[in-house]
Amino acid sequence: MVTKELIGVVPILPFITSDRTLAAHSRSVVVDQRTKLPPPDPLVHVFNLVGDADSSINSLHKIQAIINAMQPRRCFNKPVDVFKTSRARLPKTLADIPGCIIPRTETADPKNFSELQAACRKFNEWPVIVRSPGYHGGDNMLLLTDESQLDGLKDLSWPYEGICLTQFVDCRDDAGLYQRIRVMMVDGAAYARQCVYSDRWKIHTKSRVDLMDQDIGLRHREEQLLAELRDRVLKDRAPLFQEIYHRIGLDVFGIDFALVNDQIVIFEANACMRFLGRGTASNPLYAYTDSYKKELGVALKKMLVSA
């Protein structure tokens, strides 16, 4: 039984354990490195739930060893594919896809303020996003417009535990708003999930409270965009999303991006994105997103049952 929310994982375990259809056709067992492994069985399927390539390197290697020992019929979200989605590796994984912009990202490991300054000077691209790898939801992430703002990081602890430096791409629309569109890939197919609008550059699901909760016009805008994604955009751009899927290789993962001048600017693509609820769950203001959540649940169930 899952009794608490897990961070940095593929967020599907409560769905699997509570779904009647899946429960009727299978038995779910959560295995970790302390669990006595069952003998190899050609009927066993393994779903790797660890989705963060930056903070879970050791865990992913151990999971691969578990998979090698179990010899399952199929492994969903193989660790080798999770590694392709790290903050620093993703721009290389998705480089040179027509219609797709991946902001440059480099890693650094400064141990003091002078080394932090040197790393940013070497990156030599302003504005720059400085963040801790392995964090989600906007935690430990700052936007610096020029070198003088580095002083604001001087007395923080996290910049000296390893950082990512990412080129900032201004994705504001004509109204001065930022957008963060989420498309989920399930078994190779692309599904629309959400689009959050904000007047702040740092957007996550909780950013809805900034503007969207009070602005019915923005909610209508999201509703229209989701319908357009489902009915036209994802079909028209199927080759692009298929290329992303083939390069990453994960069975279940999300892509967060903005549409800018008919191109998609990708913020991140990984298996840690929530898509079966949370954020808009039980909120009547966003009832129009329910059908997209349901469609994703059906696709996930179909993938698991047919494996």
The pLDDT tens digits for 27-36 are: 777 776 676 7
Answer yes or no: are the C-beta atoms of 248 and 85 closer than 8 Å. yes
Nearest alpha carbon to residue 110 among 152, 76, 159, 149: 159
Examine residue 110 and say whether the peptide bond preceding it is cis (omega within 30 degrees of 0): no
Average pLDDT over residues 31-44: 72
Greatest mean pLDDT among 25-29, 114-118, 130-134: 114-118
pLDDT above 90: residue 23: no
User: Which two three-digit tokens encode residue 172?
Assistant: 């504001």
3-state secondary structure of 179: strand
Window from 73-77, 96-100, 117-121, 163-167 with minimum mean pLDDT: 73-77
The DSSP H or E segment spanning 302 is helix 290-305
Residue 179 bridge partners (DSSP): 197
Average pLDDT over residues 198-205: 92
Average pLDDT over residues 156-167: 95
Q: What residues have CB less than 8 Å from 105, skipping those under 6 apart?
A: 87, 88, 90, 91, 164, 165, 166, 167
The DSSP H or E segment spanning 234 is helix 234-236
Answer yes or no: are the C-beta atoms of 106 and 165 closer than 8 Å. yes
DSSP letters spanning 26-53: -------TTSPPPPP-TT-EEE--B--T
pLDDT above 50: residue 172: yes
Answer yes or no: are the C-beta atoms of 159 and 153 closer than 8 Å. yes
